[in-house]
Every structure is written in structure tokens, then in C-alpha cells.
Amino acid sequence: MAHRVRPRPLLPAAVLLCAALTGCSGAPAAPAPAAPHVTPASGAPAAVPAAAPLPASEPVRVTIPAAGVDTSPVLRLGPAADGTVEVPSVADGDKIGWYTKGVTPGETGPAVLIGHFDTARGPAVMRDVSRVRTGEEITVSRADGTTAVFRVRELEQVGKDRFPTAKVYGDTTRPELRVITCGGEITDGHRPDNIILYADLVG
């Protein structure tokens, strides 16, 4: 279903323009896929050795093998006129977008990717997000010909009214990635949760 990212005021030294995906609205024309849920690993998130940051270069392809994702091109998403952050259109439900006001994947800081779980047309690019586990890899091909490989450190499912803005968008000391989609059972045409994958650059 379609979803939105709410803006919030800028925090010092951090790009924090968006807070939560807030839509996933409208009843699908096709049968809705099973509600997406993730099961966080028990205990503290696994530590991942830091990799050297890469220079800025826009993402052109994203692969998440565990979720069956291999999509190109990567859409460019910026602030919308109403103060929210753009998300892929229904027509682009099979693609992932990169939030251009953040860093590019591989730079120091949290790069943010956004994709639909489903739309009014049915299942979308992140439809198999529930198959992702900690330790899985996410690969981002970049416009300069380099590839940034991330390893999933943490999975989080949270209500959109409790979105962890600082955790997702706050400054980090190493290159990290967030992939955000919707989750939970449809209620009144909406999915009430966000699913967030937190990953660290490993190569």
C-alpha cells in the first residue's frame, strides 16, 4: 500500500527530514499478500566490523537476495510539496527509492531506501521482507561502478505513531543503510506498522 514519510525539524549536524512511513492506504485491487512481520533477533544486535567509507555516488541497483529483490533503476526521492517525503508511485511499486537528502549508500551516515510492501495493484518490491534475517546481505550498485555491500544487523517492526526517527536518521560514525517498508495487518485500508532493516557496510 502507498505510504508516506513525515518530516521533522532538522537536528543539529543531522539530516532528519523524515520521520515515518504513514500510508499504505487503499484496498488492493488484487488479494493482499499476507501481513508482513519480522522477528528481531534475541539479545543485542550483532556487531559488524566497520568497512572504509566510500565517496558519494548515487545508487543505481539494489539487490536483497533473501527477499527476492533485484531492482533497477533506483528512484530519486526528495521532499514533497506537503512536507512529507516522496515515495515510489503505485506504478513504480516494483522499484526502490533512495532519499536524496541523506547520504549515498556507502558514505558515512545513514543512507535511506524506501520501497512498498504492496500497493493498490497488489504485492510490490518488498513483498517478501519477512524472509530477511540478521546476517543477510544487501548489495547496492553505484553510479561510479563500485558496489556497496551491507549486512543486516537489526530488524525492527514498529507502529508508525512510534517511529524511531533519531535511530533511523541520526548521524552515525560509519556507513550504514536503512531499508523501510510497511508492515502489520491491514486496518481500514492501511498497514499500521513500519518494518525497518538496519545494515552496516562490510565491503
pLDDT digits (tens, 9 = 90+) for 129-153: 999 999 999 999 999 999 999 999 9
pTM reported for the whole predicted model: 0.82
**pLDDT category, 22, cuts 50, 70, 90?**
very low
Q: Which CATH number is 125's domain given? A: 2.40.260.10
Domain range spanning residue 183?
59-201
Q: List alpha helices for the chain, DSSP H.
A: 165-169
Q: In whole angstroms, how far apart are CA 138 and each of 3, 30, 144, 148, 165?
A: 22, 29, 18, 8, 22
pLDDT of residue 3: 44
Torsion 127-131-132-138 (CA) sign? negative
Residue 134 lies in a domain: yes
Per-residue pLDDT, 180: 96
Whether residue 73 is contained in a domain is answered as yes
Task: Give how many domains the chain has, as a whole number.
Answer: 1
**Is the pLDDT reported for residue 172 higher than 50?**
yes
Residue 2 inside a domain? The answer is: no
pLDDT tens digit sequence for 56-111: 999 999 999 999 999 999 999 998 887 667 889 999 999 999 999 999 999 999 99
Alpha carbon of 139 to those of 37, 55, 102: distances in Å? 22, 16, 18
Supply 50's cell numbers.
566497520
Asked if residue 37 is part of any domain, the answer here is no
